[in-house]
Amino acid sequence: MDGIVNWWDYLSSRWDLVGATLMETIIYVVTVTVSAGVLAIVTGILTRNRPFAKEMSLAIASVFLTIPSLALFTIFIPLVGLGFAPSFIALFLYAILPILRNTVTGLDSVDPSVLESARGMGLTKSQVLLQVQLPLAWPVMLAGIRVAALLTVGISAIATLVAGGGLGDFIKSGLARLPLPNSLEAIWTGVILSLALAFTIDVLLRLLGRVTTPAGVR
């Protein structure tokens, strides 16, 4: 109990710092998820009728997830320097696969006879895509976006090692000051706020899923 009280004291005596650091992680999550989402969804749509290109893009996206986080965060340093840039690039590369894979799965799982009927009803190809195929695939795509966002929360803690900020800052400073007072509290702050952020994102994206999924698909 003492530990929790101490931690709360630690947290409440520095809301400014906590808020600013949390904001840095949120910025990573939003920019990475949106940019990787756009690239992955566009790729998924463009390659939906080209099996080889589709499998190739999946294979390329999946190879990035094999590369260890510290390596991917640091490999671009000679090119782009320290800070936000190398962290963003690494997180972006990691986030592509979950969204791309679910976009592909979602679009593929739409029954071809449904698409045929839509064509038969006189819809153009782009209308079929926008009004039939994408809405049907959306719940699966959104699940991929959720995975990408959660992944970004977890991995972005590494950004602090390349001076990229974010909640990892608390873990780094806590580790550096061990066993001085407030060091353990700092580490827990980094871990617990990451999990709290992940939980919030999870709930928000589930809500978004409810709101944006057409009634007929649910």
Q: How far apart are CA 126 and CA 25, in angstroms?
A: 37
Taking CB under 8 A as the binding criterion, the range among 16-24, 35-43, 119-127, 180-188 that sits at the site for other proteins is 180-188
Q: Does 16 bind other proteins (CB under 8 A)?
A: no
Those residues whose C-beta lies under 8 Å from the C-beta of residue 117, and which sit 6 or more positions away, are none
Q: How far apart are CA 102 and CA 105, in angstroms?
A: 5
Q: Does 111 bind other proteins (CB under 8 A)?
A: yes
Taking CB under 8 A as the binding criterion, the range among 7-15, 30-38, 124-132, 143-151 that sits at the site for other proteins is 143-151
The DSSP code for 45 is H
- Return phi, psi of residue 110, to 5°: -75, 125
Taking CB under 8 A as the binding criterion, the range among 3-11, 120-128, 194-202, 210-218 that sits at the site for other proteins is 194-202
Closest distance of CB 105 from other proteins, Å? 11
Closest distance of CB 206 from other proteins, Å? 10
Q: How far apart are CA 217 and CA 53, in angstroms?
A: 28
Closest distance of CB 78 from other proteins, Å? 4
Q: Does 180 bind other proteins (CB under 8 A)?
A: no
Burial 154-169 (b: 16+ CB within 10 A, else e): ebbbbbbbbebbbbbb
- Return phi, psi of residue 159, to 5°: -50, -35
Taking CB under 8 A as the rule, which mask of x and - marks residues 28-67 in contact with other proteins? Answer: -----------------------xx--xx-xxx-xx--xx
Q: How far apart are CA 189 and CA 197, in angstroms?
A: 12
Q: Does 113 bind other proteins (CB under 8 A)?
A: yes
The identity of residue 143, as a single letter, is A
Closest distance of CB 81 from other proteins, Å? 9
CA 50-54-60 angle, 5° bins:
150
Q: Which is nearer to other proteins, 12 or 66 (CB)?
A: 66
Alpha carbon distance, N-terminus to C-terminus of the chain? 44
Chain residues binding other proteins by CB under 8 A are 51-52, 55-56, 58-60, 62-63, 66-72, 74-75, 77-78, 109-113, 147, 150-151, 153-158, 160-162, 167-168, 171, 174-175, 178, 184, 187-188, 190-191, 194-195, 197-199, 202
